[in-house]
Chain A
Amino acid sequence: MQTSASKIAIATLTLALLAGCSSSGPEQPAAPTESKTPVAPASPSGTPVAPPAVSGKTMTPEEALMASLKDPNSPLSKRIIYFDYDSYAIKDSYASLVSAHAKVLVANPKLKMLIQGNTDERGSREYNLALGQKRAEAVKRALMLLGVQEAQIESVSLGEEKPRMEGSDEAAYAENRRSEMLYSGEF
């Protein structure tokens, strides 16, 4: 149902967003040369960007943004940062993920993000709530260092209350030690 034109438009927009130039508006389409990100109308994995099922028409920038946030092939669809046991440091492997989200937030100052920190189920619920807060704060600080305005981000904790995986083994614990990023409209 999507026209190929809209596909391209979305791809370009997404890249523009990633490059941090979206607010320049449609009359100033992002020059590919301005972006340090490799320019290719495809996701990092090399498969074509799957069109989000929104409508047959060209999307507004906001719609395009929200679509890209949900697009499983966009790095922006990755919203979870996992932590080691008893650790609140963002591992190096998440640097590009954090920076991709930072660029979106910088480019869209009206966009808000809720970061929810989580822990595994061991120990006191209230103390775990405080530990989850540390995980959320770590992501918030990283985003702020990448230029995001503090007013755009709220870091909260869900403690051990919202596990992604039920169970009392290390696999479940590892899956639950995480921070999740939610954008306006998702919380």
Chain B
Amino acid sequence: MLARRGIATALAMLSIGSAPAWALFDDDVARQRIEALKLESTTRLGKLDAQVEQSQRVQLDLNNQIEALRAEIAKLRGQNEVLTYELEAATKRQKDFYLDLDNRLRALEAAPAAAAAAAPAADPAAEARDYEAALNLLKGGKFADAQAAFEAFITTWPQSSFQPAAHYWAASSGFQAKNYPRAAELYQAVHAQWPSDVRAPEALLGLANTQQVQGDTKGAKKTLDTVVAEYGSTPAADVARQRLKQLAPPPKKK
């Protein structure tokens, strides 16, 4: 609108500026020219008006388009936020799941893993042969060799049904070979892993012996107490009671 007013003013000035020329024309000609100018300016103004209006329409339209694009960008941004969140959540879940799985597998693998690597295919004959060989060494009084052989059997045949027996004999061999700490471990393993095995109370008696030999009377007493408490009706318990009496300190005099 300002532009149009500017043009109007310019036109007015133009007509004033052309005043000296008036003398050359008579009034009619002047009037005609002014009318022509007016008509021309009106037409031009009309065109400008149309241009301005068109430009404004376009701008409004552009404005609407920008708004629509903004809304579209916001939606995409929102989708991006959600996807990122879901991805992070999924990644975390997957990690947690993996860690959990890993822990479980680790626990499962812990015992058999070492053996599994070297484990030959199940061969009952070979298994029995190895056991027999170790037992023969023991019978032959080769206690250190016997212990080594039983220990090898334990690692080689982790699934063997001879495992409790092999532990027990490895311990006994170790005891005879004066390998007391290892013997104690193996005796303990029998009780801990196969508490209902017939050798379990015997293993505890062996453990008590080992402890006593090592000067751990208190530990020996405790072990014998365990035999009595857990295997009260077995012959081993009777032995344990006997030994406990021997271990008991002389009664104090009041």
Contact = CB atoms under 8 A, between A and B. Distances in A.
A touches B in complex, CB < 8 A: yes
A34 B45 contact: yes
A90 B64 contact: yes
Interface in A141-165: 141-142, 145-147
Interface in B37-54: 42, 45-46, 49-50, 53
Contact of B63 (A24, A34, A107, A142): A142
A145 B42 contact: no
B44 to A, nearest CB: 12
A54 interface: no
A121 to B, nearest CB: 23
A107 to B, nearest CB: 7
A115 interface: no
A36 B1 contact: no
A107 B68 contact: no
Interface residues of A, number: 20
B74 interface: no
A93 to B, nearest CB: 13
A88 B74 CA distance: 14
A33 interface: yes
B106 interface: no
B56 A145 contact: yes
Contacts of A39: none
A145 B1 contact: no
A138 B42 contact: no
A89 B61 CA distance: 10
B178 interface: no
A67 interface: no
Contacts, number: 34
Contacts of B42: 33-34
B47 to A, nearest CB: 11
A89 B57 CA distance: 14
B88 interface: no
A76 interface: no
Contacts of B1: 20-21, 103, 106-107, 147
A88 B63 CA distance: 12
A21 to B, nearest CB: 8
Interface in B54-104: 56-57, 59-60, 63-64, 67-68
A146 B63 CA distance: 12
Contacts of A171: none
B50 A141 contact: no
Contacts of A138: 67
Contact of A36 (B46, B63, B67, B68): B46
Interface in A4-50: 20-21, 24, 33-34, 36
A107 B63 CA distance: 23
A145 B49 contact: no
A12 B56 CA distance: 26
Interface string B220-240: 000000000000000000000
Which 8 pairs show the lowest CB-CB distances between chains A and B? A20-B1, A145-B59, A33-B42, A89-B64, A36-B49, A146-B56, A106-B1, A145-B60
Given A88-B67, A103-B1, 18 more contacts: A20-B1, A24-B5, A33-B42, A34-B45, A36-B46, A36-B50, A36-B53, A89-B67, A95-B60, A99-B56, A106-B1, A107-B1, A138-B67, A142-B60, A145-B60, A146-B56, A146-B60, A147-B1
Interface of A: 20-21, 24, 33-34, 36, 88-90, 95, 99, 103, 106-107, 138, 141-142, 145-147
